[in-house]
Amino acid sequence: MNAVVRNLRVLRRMTAAEIAQQSVYRGAWLIFMLANICVPIISLLIWRTAIANGAQLPIDERYVTTYFVLLGFVTMATSSWMAGFLANDIRLGKLSTWMVRPASLLVGFVANNLSEKFLKLFALVPMIGIVWWIFRDSMNIPASLGRWVLFAFSIVLGAILVFTIDILIAALAFWMDDVSALVQARVIIAGVLSGSVVPLALMPEWSQGFVDHQPFRYTVSFPVEIVAGELSGGDLVAGLGIQFGYVVAAGVLARLVWAAGIRAYSAVGA
């Protein structure tokens, strides 16, 4: 328990320090978030045009609109950019400097992740608010506070899952010289299977069994579906159970791989 409390204190202080440091780049966050929301908006306009011209889709205009309006926020909130940096720290021996510190290197990456998301919210939320106002009459807005709470909880689980997957990939640098191809492959695969590119509801019917149960769905699409798709109570419970199961499984596997990597680690000063 003392170790947990200590790590939480360190995380709080490191997050505050990261916020102070990253706030220097306010203009950059504005540009990044503008780019982050442009793709969903373009996709939204394309799919709305397709529906208006008679395209027969398994989802309606309200689902499409709600999905893409929320997509920019959810992808930002669950994103992680750690794998490449962590792999380089392992490969170049920078991990050695953290091994004599009171907190894990991973705590530093968590602090960086939280601080950047905190600052990005200030740029992203107003943009999403403008888009919501424009399309407010064509969206599914649940009246139940409970559904929004589940939406927030699912986003937290999705963020943990993405972060843990990044640890797994980066930890392979303990045994491999270069994992950049794996990092890029994860980005491409996750972009499709998470629903960031196309809503998973539009995937071919023969693929639905796999698509609905693979882990990347629970990093982006499932949280959005809680609001956009108005999932039934049973589907919500089952989905949250699967999502939590993936988080636990990925967490246990990441811990085992990381521990094995630390034992095998060898670098100047290690």
pLDDT at 240 exceeding the cut of 90: yes
Within 10 angstroms of residue 196's Cβ, the number of other Cβ atoms is 25
Higher pLDDT, 218 or 31: 218
| Token couple for 179 | 């994992």
pLDDT at 268 exceeding the cut of 60: no
Report, as an integer, the average pLDDT of 21-49. Answer: 86
Secondary-structure percent of the chain, ordered helix, strand, coil, rounded to 5? 80, 0, 20
Q: What pLDDT score does 164 carry?
A: 96
Say if CB 79 and CB 35 are below 8 A apart: no
Confidence band (pLDDT; 50, 70, 90) for 1? low
Higher pLDDT, 50 or 26: 50
pLDDT at 219 exceeding the cut of 80: yes
Report, as an integer, the average pLDDT of 248-255. Answer: 95
Residues with Cβ within 8 Å of 233's Cβ and at least 6 positions away in sequence, in order, are none
Q: Report helix, strand or coil for 204.
A: coil
Average pLDDT over the chain, rounded to whole?
A: 88
Calculate helix-pair angle for 180-193, 82-91, nearest 10 degrees: 160
pTM of the model: 0.91
Report, as an integer, the average pLDDT of 249-253. Answer: 96
Burial category of 200 from C-beta neighbours within 10 Å (exposed 0-12, middle 13-18, buried 19 and up)? buried
Higher pLDDT, 144 or 124: 124
DSSP state of 20: H
| Token couple for 135 | 């399309």
- Cα Rg for the chain, rounded, in angstroms? 20
pLDDT at 195 exceeding the cut of 90: yes
209: Cα within 13 Å, side-chain hemisphere:
1
